[in-house]
Structure 1
Amino acid sequence: MATVADPEVATRDEPADPTGTSKRTDIQGLRAIAVALVVVYHLAPTTLTGGFVGVDVFFVVSGFLITSHLLLRRPSRPRHLLEFWGRRIRRLLPASLLVLLLTLVATRLVAPVTQWDVTARQSAAAATYWVNWLLASDSVDYLAAAAAPSPVQHFWSLSVEEQFYLGWPVLVLLLGQLAVITRVAGSLPRLRLLVLAGLGLVVALSLAWSVHLTDTDPARAYFVTTTRIWELGLGGLVAGFVVLREPPGRRLPPPVAAGAAWLGVAAIVTSGVAYSGATPFPGWQALVPVGGTALVLGAAAGTQIWSPGRILALPPLQWLGDISYSVYLWHWPLIVLVPAVSGDHLGALDKTAIVVATLVLAALTKRYVEDAFRTPAWSRRLARTYVLGAAAMAVVLAASALLVVNLHAREDAARRALARAQHSDDPCFGAGALVASRQCPPSQGDPVPAPVLAALDRSAAYQGSAGHRDCFASVPAYRTVRCVFGDRTAERTVVLVGNSHAGQWVPALHRIGRQQHWRVVTYLSSQCAMSDVRQQFETSEQATACLDWVHRVTAQVSAARPDLVVLANRVSLTAEGVDDLAHSAAPYEQGYEQVLRTWADQRLPVVVLRDTPAPGDGDVASVPDCLASNGDDFAACSGPRVDWVPVDPTVAAVAALDSPAVRLVDLNDHICGPAVCQAVVGGVVVYFDGSHLTATYNRTLSPFLEPHLVAAMDRRP
């Protein structure tokens, strides 16, 4: 998901021509186009699939205006840097911190409690301008990446810009000092060469890193500053050529300038229409919108009749460009939070209301907040700027902390309720309620774990508890990770293999292992299914790493010769070269059959657990979020079994193999009823997201799983 922060401006956000005094209306027009791209993309992503390039347009404009300002008023001592940063504080912090604070309040009032933690964490990171790194870290976490977006995650781009504003002036200052040391300051051509060479080196290094990381780790590459600096830096290079060119004020011939500007606008629009979420980004693909923006800025075509500047100078675009920063700040929290009031999905009326509210709030924020802190009186009070900026940040941090404290109090109460329920010896608790002979009543009252805790109710393989580190191999390298559960000193060993849908069985297997005196060893991965088939990851390197992990683990399990192998998987990626999951079933089946045959030939007993139902395959993206939003209306978070139970290629693979060493175990009748899969069964929340079983519910499945494992181990071929 792409978002946009407002670009820096020279003095009072009036984008002037660095070569003269005329206002650059084309820059305001570019801002309007950029923010329109982003807003339309967020409201209708299938209509404008590449609207996320709006952020790249803003980055280039930011770099252009910042560098123009720095080159015209080059900092030569620390005081100049403090003054520059003070202007940025006055320009950006009042509006952004106000929106963060009000978003935290709105989250507390209307958002489901399950979203409080991520909103509080990201708000604190956004207030201190490092939320892009937090999002980069979460993006490579399979479970975190699948979570619902927070209403403040759009601040990632503002964090990138603030980090640019922090380091770029220092670079310009150092280049100026280098010019003095090398005695080139008095020679404009040599000074220009030195400055542009220094800026160009940073741009080249960042672009190279962006291409590399986008190819190898695209989820992280999208957010980190190091892959984005070149976009702002390219705008800086354009500014360097404009400001430092000889003779001063020289322009391109009007026809050439107009042609370049039209080409630039075409590049921006084309990328907005043609790009999509499948486009590797940023990488070299970002050169199209970035280069297009640089062309418009460098051309400075003006408003001649043959120039796109006439269109960019239209009053509606100028007005939208003027308020673009506040439009950006307000639109995303409204998109995320309005459904908490109006319903799960945004309809046409909701989207229209969001656009109107965004424009009204943006106009008010521009006039009464942004402009209020850019007066001459504020400009003369540098110390006051820093003190009040820090105080405002502290207010947002305190509000984030209060939300977390409130959340933790609810979680503690939920843990106490869960502990009481687990020690009740109720035969209808959890999966036991689906045993027909017990005639258990429907679930009523407060479920356990409560929704606020259900999202955290994962096995120790995720949590790293009881001395365990993260037990999942993950992108980009898929290094082998091995963890031990159950009775660690036992002689008999059960190996659990697969992706996160194997990891969800750790609570049940740990309990069974302690009771049966089995040592449970896990070889788990995030997303990578244990099938000998190339899976369609974001990069070829990740696909290769996954397949290598499958081969490596298959061999290691064979070499270890455990007493029992348990295999479970969810297929969430298409097979390489196949368009959809339905047509991927056959390649996955063949890949599973190959793995299972390897173990069967070694005479290892194998139990294949049929994949469990997934609410996300229906229309419930997150069961805890749904329950938190719908109170005791559990039926609103349930769905037809036919929609939730996925097609599992392991079923066909086991049948095709037809080996006495390999048997299929299907426990889905202990998770769903004959026709409906409930979100709450026997008073227990079944899922901690839209796919994975809670640890609590999984433990209640252990009495139904244990006989199958015992039988498989006792009948070892």
Structure 2
Amino acid sequence: MAVSLVLIYHLWPARLTGGYVGVDVFFVISGYLMTAHLLARKPRTAGDLARFWARRIRRLLPASFLVLAATAVAARLVAPPTQWELIAKEIIASALYVQNWVLAGSAVDYLAADNAPSPVQHFWSLSLEEQFYLCWPLVILAVVWLAGIWRLAVGLVARCVIAAVIAGSLAVSVLATADDAGSAYFITPTRVWELAAGGLVATLAPLAATRLPRAAAALLAWGGMAAILAAGVTYTAATPFPGYTALLPVAGTALVILAGTEHRSSPTGVLGLKPVQWLGDVSYSVYLWHWPLIVLFPFATGADLRWWDKLAVLALTLVLAALTKVFVEDRFRSALPAGRLVPAYRFAAAGMAAVAVLGGAQLAEVNYRSQLAEQQLAAVEAGKDPCIGASALARGPGTCAPGQPERMVPEPALAKDDLPDAYKDGCWSYDDFTDRPVCTYGDGKTQLALVGNSHAGQWLPALQILADKHGWTITTYLVTRCNLTTAPLDFNNAERTRNCLDYGRWVMDQTKGGKYDLVVTSARQSVTVEGESWQSTEAPAVAGYKSYLAEWAAAGTKVLVIKDPPYPGTRISSIPDCLAAHPEDPSACSGTPRSWHWMDPLERAARELDAPGIGTVNLDKYFCAREVCPAVIGSVVAFRDGSHITATYARTLAPYLDGPLRAALADRPGSAADRSSQ
């Protein structure tokens, strides 16, 4: 049942929105089987532990090493080069069983938010289980030791210790999920209680073996099944998870196991059917194979998964799982002698090393290609081609020849990391918005402040060029996702919502009045206003920006709002990935002003406010021409993901931002349209 939930969820997520709870069912079952085994063969010495871990190696590692190696080769052959580095790193992390911690770090890494899922992302749960398998026998060894000292039954001590583990881990899970559900989903402390819940069941007698009538035990088992299915059907990606919401599938699974009945009316009748039993036997290999196929299949076919593709993936998953069960899982279990420990541990070390070498070779290739691309980029920029970047559109249609696909700069793999200096300089307020770094660029007398979220920070490369040219100093007040407004934003966390407002209040206090000759700001609305949906958020967002801008205006602060460029993310999650997938046809990654449209309540608020000193500039004509918004403009890759422009393209926009900035500084008369045309 668990693997079925996961399969359906990954292939048809809209049909079973909470199918991810199948992993939680796995956890409970794993905890139950492992604890039952350890209590049946109580570990008393280091040798007992070594033999237990050797059995785990023989059971789990051969199939996982095979899938990781096959995925590494397949990804190199069909995945776009922009994803090779991510996949290689995650393959190494999976081979070392720390993938869950790597993904937890990515979940809180704003720059990784647009990364496509890797074909080994599902190894997070296997990594977590292996960490549990490593530590849990030590807990049971301690239980056996304590029971001997205290002269108590091992089962009683085990129940008390496991209950304490469940209570502590569940508390951590609830708190961590409330703070940051993205990272809490993957980390080990938030999940241990689920495996321990299965362990607790292993210390209890089955209900069917007590005085409880078997029919009643069967009814409880069906109640547990209903709880699992209810979570699978009603939970969604928006459900805070794991936390307290994981109690439903975990308790449901525990109840099914605890019922322990083979009554004809129990779920055992269904679970005992031969097809269900067969799927259970191959479930480990099914889980290993299904996700790499789902992720890599579209790269091989050149199209998103259609219904017939999904059926093909399902069929291929079952075939590969059956073959892996017979020729790898079963064969290696007998090929590695059960009575000897050294061969098992030698195999584990060799397998990890081999997969790590595969990943390392891929990283070496990525590094080599990156060095070549950097040389190409430097050569192109040094040539000062008048048709490079934004100038290709500025010079008008037909003036510049279309760029050749092989001349794309930065090369798509580099474009993903083509960032403003503010990132490497640590100039960002992240996570809870309590850090408030301030950075300066240039040392001129004219003082400019660059404030806003990452869509303000993306203009820094252009401003640096102008600062060097005119003798300006740029001071940055940059924050991730948080918008500078009086309207509270919905971060699904009251503290972050409050901290974002506080950060905006602080920036206002730092910049209003005469400290700066000009405040430059821009933003993308990536979070809804609190209490609003995306359909209703624009109006209150505009009102919040008007209130904020009005305070600047009342203090006599000059402000220039740069309209956010077109937003490819409405159609394409990553321009570099798209270009890497269509190396001979960059136009496949282009859009139109209509298809790439996104609200810009900050720019709209500035126009509607029409207050003294508040101006706007619209550079859309340097992104779109003749109703086409190219992904590559004048041979330069314009976007580093689905929304941010590359630092290279930003630098080519400096000449066209120059006039509006100098006009804003001089406060010359002129409408927003006048400034936009300069």
- When the two structures are superposed, what TM-score results if normalisation uses the length of structure 1? 0.91
1:424 equivalent among 367, 383, 387: 383
1:643 equivalent among 574, 592, 595: 595
Aligned Cα root-mean-square deviation (Å)? 1.7
Corresponding position of 2:168 = 205
Percent identical: 48
SS of corresponding position for 2:451? strand
Corresponding position of 1:300 = 260
Corresponding position of 1:687 = 639
Corresponding position of 1:449 = 410
Q: Deviations over 1:660-716 (max 9, x none)?
A: 211011111112114110000001000111111011001000111122112212229
- Note if 1:482 corresponds to 2:445: no
Corresponding position of 1:338 = 297
Deviation at 1:250, TM superposition (A): 4.6
Q: How does 1:343-382 map to 2 (within 5 A)?
A: 343-375=302-334, 378-382=337-341
Corresponding position of 1:604 = 557
2:357 equivalent among 380, 395, 398: 398
Deviation at 1:651, TM superposition (A): 2.7
Corresponding position of 2:43 = 75
Structure 1 contact 641–674 (Cα < 8 Å) conserved? no
Structure 1 contact 593–654 (Cα < 8 Å) conserved? yes
Deviation at 1:603, TM superposition (A): 0.8
- For structure 1, the 5+ residue unaligned runs are 1-32
Deviation at 1:560, TM superposition (A): 7.8
1:633 equivalent among 553, 560, 585: 585
Q: Residues 353 and 437 of structure 1: is their aligned pair in 2 closer, same or farther, counting only changes over 3 Å?
A: closer
Corresponding position of 2:272 = 313
Q: Deviations over 1:135-189 (max 9, x none)?
A: 00100112312210000011000011011111111011112212222233xxx3x
- Note if 1:85 corresponds to 2:41: no
Distance of 1:124 and 1:369 partners within structure 2: 21
The one-letter code sitting in structure 1 at the alignment partner of 2:561 is V
SS of corresponding position for 2:595? helix
Distance of 1:509 and 1:88 partners within structure 2: 58
2:94 equivalent among 106, 122, 126: 126
Deviation at 1:561, TM superposition (A): 2.1
Corresponding position of 1:667 = 619
Deviation at 1:437, TM superposition (A): 4.8
The one-letter code sitting in structure 2 at the alignment partner of 1:121 is K
The one-letter code sitting in structure 1 at the alignment partner of 2:400 is C
Distance of 1:377 and 1:635 partners within structure 2: 54
Corresponding position of 2:239 = 279
Deviation at 1:564, TM superposition (A): 1.2
Deviation at 1:513, TM superposition (A): 1.6
Structure 2 contact 94–127 (Cα < 8 Å) conserved? yes
- Note if 1:564 corresponds to 2:532: no
Distance of 1:649 and 1:36 partners within structure 2: 44
Corresponding position of 2:505 = 551
Structure 1 contact 218–538 (Cα < 8 Å) conserved? no
The one-letter code sitting in structure 1 at the alignment partner of 2:380 is A
Distance of 1:208 and 1:636 partners within structure 2: 49
Distance of 1:123 and 1:410 partners within structure 2: 20
Structure 1 contact 486–509 (Cα < 8 Å) conserved? no
- Note if 1:240 corresponds to 2:199: no
Distance of 1:290 and 1:110 partners within structure 2: 38
The one-letter code sitting in structure 1 at the alignment partner of 2:11 is L
Distance of 1:384 and 1:176 partners within structure 2: 28
Corresponding position of 1:30 = none
Corresponding position of 1:531 = 485
Q: Residues 264 and 517 of structure 1: is their aligned pair in 2 closer, same or farther, counting only changes over 3 Å?
A: same
- When the two structures are superposed, what TM-score results if normalisation uses the length of structure 2? 0.96
Distance of 2:169 and 2:40 partners within structure 1: 25
Structure 2 contact 405–586 (Cα < 8 Å) conserved? no
Structure 2 contact 58–336 (Cα < 8 Å) conserved? no
Deviation at 1:241, TM superposition (A): 1.4
Q: Residues 35 and 515 of structure 1: is their aligned pair in 2 closer, same or farther, counting only changes over 3 Å?
A: same
SS of corresponding position for 1:493? strand
1:104 equivalent among 62, 68, 72: 72
Q: How does 1:155-170 map to 2 (within 5 A)?
A: 155-170=123-138
Distance of 1:457 and 1:315 partners within structure 2: 55
SS of corresponding position for 2:433? coil
The one-letter code sitting in structure 1 at the alignment partner of 2:602 is T
Corresponding position of 1:261 = 221
Corresponding position of 1:173 = 141
Q: Deviations over 1:442-463 (max 9, x none)?
A: 222421111121111111222x
The one-letter code sitting in structure 2 at the alignment partner of 1:312 is L
SS of corresponding position for 2:205? helix
Deviation at 1:73, TM superposition (A): 1.1
Q: Deviations over 1:255-274 (max 9, x none)?
A: 22101100000000111001
Structure 2 contact 592–624 (Cα < 8 Å) conserved? no
SS of corresponding position for 2:122? helix
SS of corresponding position for 2:616? strand
Corresponding position of 1:29 = none
The one-letter code sitting in structure 1 at the alignment partner of 2:458 is Q
Deviation at 1:555, TM superposition (A): 2.1
Distance of 1:662 and 1:233 partners within structure 2: 59
SS of corresponding position for 1:677? coil
Structure 1 contact 449–685 (Cα < 8 Å) conserved? yes
Q: How does 1:462-501 map to 2 (within 5 A)?
A: 462=423, 464=424, 468-469=425-426, 471-475=427-431, 477-487=432-442, 489-501=443-455
- Note if 1:513 corresponds to 2:467: yes
Deviation at 1:482, TM superposition (A): 2.5
Distance of 2:245 and 2:619 partners within structure 1: 46
Corresponding position of 1:25 = none
SS of corresponding position for 2:248? helix
- Note if 1:657 corresponds to 2:612: no
Q: Residues 440 and 602 of structure 1: is their aligned pair in 2 closer, same or farther, counting only changes over 3 Å?
A: same
Distance of 1:373 and 1:688 partners within structure 2: 45
Q: Residues 63 and 650 of structure 1: is their aligned pair in 2 closer, same or farther, counting only changes over 3 Å?
A: same
The one-letter code sitting in structure 2 at the alignment partner of 1:294 is A
